[in-house]
Amino acid sequence: VRALLAHISDLDSGPGSSISPSLTSPDAQELFRTLLELRMLGKFGIDEILTKINVLREEFELTREHSPIEHVNSRLKSPRSILEKVVRRGVTPSREDIRQYIHDIAGVRITCAFATDVYQLAEILTGQPDIRVVEVKDYIADPKPNGYQSLHLIVEVPVFLSQRTEHTLVEVQIRTIAMDFWASLEHKIYYKYDREVPQHLLDELRDAARVASELDERMARLRDEVNGLALTEDP
């Protein structure tokens, strides 16, 4: 693992990429091929989830006034950052163990207007017959100590290859726009201070998270009031 880490950059991830054979052992070469393969499976997993999300989004747009889906992003971990996580977590660098213990090679993030949309979407997605829910972490019901809020799902989707079917894990994060705004600023601050954020900023962030969830609640109340009006005035 160390030998390979010393030789790969974040850029070594294209389909034809390989590391120089003179630089590393056959084991390192083999591990590198495994990482590329797992990344490929992760990409297909993302594609499957994105198709599902796009279908729902278009269906909502065509048949209802409001789609619960605001934006969708996806990201694939680089071979290097998969390997760094393997080291950090003390995972055996085998194909099976990496698949079993690293759940976020493929990630999809969905932003919704309201917290109720977050749960509605999660329910629709996890209710689909080809999706298996591996893990749910509800940081909306139970925010992290720093204030982070989001609904995290680890789901498994089948990917149909030419010779076999592979079940691939995808980390799906679903959150409101306000939660997403907070998380992206917190992330920048965290890295800017190299994980040692000064206490006053941590306090500010925690308070900002509280304000963000108040905003979510206020917007939901406004929406409910407007929906109620529409019902009473337009029978």
Residues annotated as catalytic (active site), given as ranges: 171
Phi-psi bin for 203: left (phi > 0), alpha (psi -120 to 50), beta?
Answer: alpha
Q: How far is the CB of 47 from ligand GTP (least distance, A)?
A: 20
Output 137 or 167, the one with its CB closest to ligand GTP: 137
Residue nearest to ligand GTP (CB): 148
CB 14 within 8 A of CB 39: no
Given the rule CB under 6 A, which residues bind ligand GTP? 104, 137, 144, 146, 148, 152, 173, 183, 186-187
Output 66 or 144, the one with its CB closest to ligand GTP: 144
Output 102 or 113, the one with its CB closest to ligand GTP: 102
Q: How far is the CB of 104 from ligand GTP (least distance, A)?
A: 5
Helices (H), ranges, the chain:
2-5, 26-63, 79-89, 95-101, 115-126, 177-192, 199-233
**Pick from 76, 14, 25, 15: nearest CA to 6:** 25
Q: How far is the CB of 172 from ligand GTP (least distance, A)?
A: 11
The tokens of 2 are what?
């160390």
Give the Cβ contact number of residue 60 at 10 Å. Answer: 17
